[in-house]
A and B are shown apart, each in its own frame.
Chain A
Amino acid sequence: MDLATIQPAILIASLMVSSTPILLAALGEMVVERAGVLNLGVEGMMITGAVSGFAVAINSGSPALGFLGAAAAGAALSLAFAVLTQFLLSNHVATGLALTLAGLGLSALVGKPYEGMKAPTLPKLDLGPLAEIPFLGRVLFSHDVMVYASLALVAAVWAVLRFTRAGLILRAVGESAEAAHALGYDVVRVRVLAILFGGALAGLGGAYISLVRVPQWTEGMTAGAGWIALAIVVFASWRAGWVLVGAYLFGGVTVLQLNLQAAGAAVPVALLSAAPYLVTILVLVIISARGLQGAPAALGRSFHASG
């Protein structure tokens, strides 16, 4: 095994790239859950975003349009979830699963003709002299625009939830739908908007996998990233900053195991490729053992204003 082939600067830089899809999806799901809705369909929305983004980018030649299309597709799929859970009062868990199953089927169907094609990828943002700084330049200033956009989104979500009236209403709806309703807020409307936001972000995350990280379309390519995003929300105790930490932690594990595989480490390949999932379980255990803190009180409960 040759550990010298693993360079820290490149490792951290690729960590940021491989974390971005999970970060986007987890951030969206965090907002959804803060509104009291548990959407287990993240995986389905991500893979739908991945295939739509890829198809739009290929047909239009523009990765930017691809990302827009992916966000729209993710939001459209989440709209189905919103209608079912908010208007038809279906069980959140079952509906989320249905969304994932349908998303997997839909993406495989739409993506068939695009297999093996190569999409136009996002160019690296030209930051001039910043990128020339040794080490830091490679780590921080050599990425595409989506990496920075995802970081900006983390800051924006944090600020909105903490400092604005809209954030307060969203949190009120998630903590006690009845109380928010009694105060005159439209619980269903707030929740539907949150679900759409979560869907759009999951779509963006999926498109980042198919347009930047891989960049290709293969069936089932999200490979559980959506589920890991759900776990990260729990890990983060429903706080934006910790979502970032969690996503980068898991991105780090993924990159490290890929690097170790490439370097020919004396660890079975099966164990390495299962590592991100095993680490997810381990972290969930540690977090849960400490007692779950910060879970929105009305999480996963349907709300129906009677009378």
Chain B
Amino acid sequence: MIALEKRPEPSRLWRAATPLVAVALTMLAGGAMFAALGADPVAAIRVIFWDPLFDPSFAAYARPQLLVKAGPLILIAVGLAIGFRSGVWNIGAEGQYIMGAICGAAAALAFYPAETRAIFPLAVLAGAAGGLAWAMIPALLKVRFGTNEILVSLMLVYVAESVLASVSSGLLQNPDGMGFPGSRNLAQWDAVANRELVAGTGMHWGVGAAFVAVIAAYILMSRHILGFQLRLSGAAPRAARFAGVTPGRVALTCFAISGALAGMAGFFEVAGPAGQISIDFGSFYGFTAIIVAFLGRLHPVGILLAGLLMALTYIGGELAQLTLGLPAAAIQLFQGMLLFFLLATDVLVNYRLRPRRREAA
């Protein structure tokens, strides 16, 4: 038998190594799953992790997509991770993302068909405000009434989806759309289109914002007193209270940051890759970002790498659907497995495996 023995302090080596081990284990287990589905496991893993970047016939399309997909994931995950490290569980980023997209698009469409680029920053702010406002609901309820923020933020995802369905065939419906549900196409309207900053790279404004968020979050969490207070309340809530950090303020701060970032991500998506508000705008990014946050060790730089890796599984997954006929759900399960293996191997950070000694009689 093997027993766990607590390490005197967490292992730095394993902290960095467990994500890699988890990825390797996921490839093994995922390969077994692909084999069970009748695909060649080695080919499937190669199509998912290698071909999007290096296969000449796909790379031209797939490489820019890497940033397009990673942008929103990183932007949302950076915000969520700040909360997770502070013991604040915002699970409803998907809802904040949807509300951000709706508010940003609504603010922009109020000026239609103006042609000034000044609308774009305004709409980005409106998107951030929309996500922030939606995130304030669970935060304020928690602070005022002690309501569980996990359940409330999650319930609000379903409410946001109802709102999305309503506005895409109501308030925001394209008046020239011949009755089809869905808003005007924002990506084709020069004033608010979220264009590529560098042509052909997939690097749009949202990806830029994600990079800025990574740097800002790093400075906040490692170099700023507020970041220290947040981490303190996550690691030792009682000690934090004695040090004068109020739990309510921590919850509000974390929800404000993560909500605003998720909302912003929503607007960048609707003004760019998605193009319009429609019933199927919700993309599960808000949930996948939770995996990204943990895979990145709740650290901004880790999240940057994890976001790129997760984006790769999205693109590789699409490619595997096309070339190998693997179902889309297999990729979703693959991503879920990754989080599982990561949590399973995490034990090595704080504990050491020892063969169990025979108990003295």
A interface residue numbers (CB < 8 A to B): 40, 80, 83-84, 88-91, 93-95, 97-99, 101-109, 112, 219, 223-224, 227-228, 230-231, 234, 268-271, 273-274, 277-278, 280-281, 284-285, 288-289, 291-292, 304, 306
A-B contact pairs, 18 of them (CB 8 A): A84-B343, A94-B294, A98-B343, A105-B329, A108-B327, A109-B333, A112-B327, A228-B155, A234-B151, A270-B162, A271-B162, A273-B162, A273-B165, A274-B158, A277-B155, A281-B147, A284-B152, A306-B6
- Cβ–Cβ < 8 Å partners of B121 in chain A: none
Q: A89-B4, A269-B166 are in contact. Are A285 and B336 (CB under 8 A)?
A: no
Q: A101-B339, A106-B333, A270-B163 are in contact. Are A288 and B6 (CB under 8 A)?
A: no
* Chain B binding surface SS class: helix
Number of A-B contacts (CB under 8 A): 137
Q: CA of A274 to CA of B340 in the docked complex: distance in angstroms? A: 31
Q: CA of A90 to CA of B345 in the docked complex: distance in angstroms? A: 9
Q: CA of A44 to CA of B23 in the docked complex: distance in angstroms? A: 22
By size class, the interface of chain B is 35 or more
* Chain A binding surface SS class: helix
The closest CB in chain A to the CB of B291 belongs to A101
List of 5 A-B pairs having minimum Cβ-Cβ separation, nearest first: A102-B336, A105-B333, A270-B166, A108-B329, A105-B332
Say which residue of B146, B157, B334, B346 sits within 8 Å of A105 (CB atoms): B334
- Cβ–Cβ < 8 Å partners of A288 in chain B: 141, 145-148
Q: A91-B343, A105-B332, A112-B327 are in contact. Are A277 and B291 (CB under 8 A)?
A: no
Inter-subunit contact B335/A101 (CB<8 Å): yes
- Please provide the chain B residues from 139 to 185 with a CB less than 8 Å away from any CB of chain A in the complex: 141, 145-148, 150-152, 154-159, 162-163, 165-166
B240 close to chain A: CB less than 8 A: no
- Cβ–Cβ < 8 Å partners of A98 in chain B: 291, 336, 339-340, 343
Q: A98-B340, A101-B335 are in contact. List 11 more A-B contacts (CB 8 A).
A: A93-B89, A97-B91, A101-B336, A105-B329, A105-B332, A112-B329, A228-B155, A270-B162, A278-B155, A281-B147, A304-B6
B347 close to chain A: CB less than 8 A: yes
- Cβ–Cβ < 8 Å partners of B147 in chain A: 281, 284-285, 288
